[in-house]
Amino acid sequence: MLPSELTRWFAEWVRPLHAAYYALDLPGGREAYAAANESLQLEPNPDLREAKRLRLEFTWYIVMADLGELDEKLAVYRTLLADCVKAAAGSGHASRSMARASLLLARLNADFRGIEPLSQSEFTQLVSVVPEEDRGPNFWHEVGCWAFQHHNGALLDEAYVYFTTQRLPEMADFMFSRLRLMHNLIAHTATVENVLETVNRVEVFWQFDDFSRMLLPECAAQGLVTPLVQQALHAKQIEMDQHGKRAPVRRAQR
């Protein structure tokens, strides 16, 4: 389990980078990234400092993967992989855990975006070194997306079970809805109501974009893009054009 200090630091320094990402604001993202990088100098613990840096670099890769030019995004990606491989073999507990999880998530993301394919054997090896306590909503959501794209129904079932048996934060609502739709599409039991629920859960532009790229073609192939769904998609597109570049508002956790 990663220390709570990492979560606090993330909320203070990395969420502004997420906000710039939602806003499609690369210059703002660069500023937030630079500020977060500078904050690392205040961390006296080398292991925790490296864990924070790897978490920041992973987020920066996600931003660059969608907003950056090809040469720069590839450079960021390759650097992240090299740093994760090095830290994963190190002696620091926090940085080692962060490196193993970040390496897997980066490879899953790169596979989804066509940057670098991830084979079944590579996937199995990368997953095997991520301990159970580090397999949270983000882990299972990304694993589920990979399973859907690679038509791995058994693995998608595992991800679905996690989301149906765990108490999840509010931010996981869309993850769960989308994963349930994937699960049902694989099983050919998806309904129009499943599609509408997932569309209604979309809060930001990138979620709508991912839905359109990953799920909409299969929904159409199974005859689920009815006039009602088309109407919902049109309404969501308008909503995203107006409000989709704002970070979701979250209630304070007690």
Q: Is residue 188 part of a domain?
A: yes
pLDDT tens digits for 80-133? 999 999 999 998 999 999 999 999 999 999 999 999 999 999 999 999 999 988
pLDDT tens digits for 153-192? 999 999 999 988 887 665 678 888 999 999 999 999 999 9
Range of the domain at 221: 139-247
| Whether residue 211 sits in one domain with residue 239 | yes
| Whether residue 97 sits in one domain with residue 153 | no
Name the residue among 140, 101, 78 with its Cα closest to residue 6: 101
Interatomic CA distance for residues 97 and 104, integer angstroms = 11
pTM of the predicted protein model: 0.90
Task: Output the furthest CA–CA distance in the chain (Å, rounded).
Answer: 58
Tell which of 134, 156, 177 closes a domain: 134
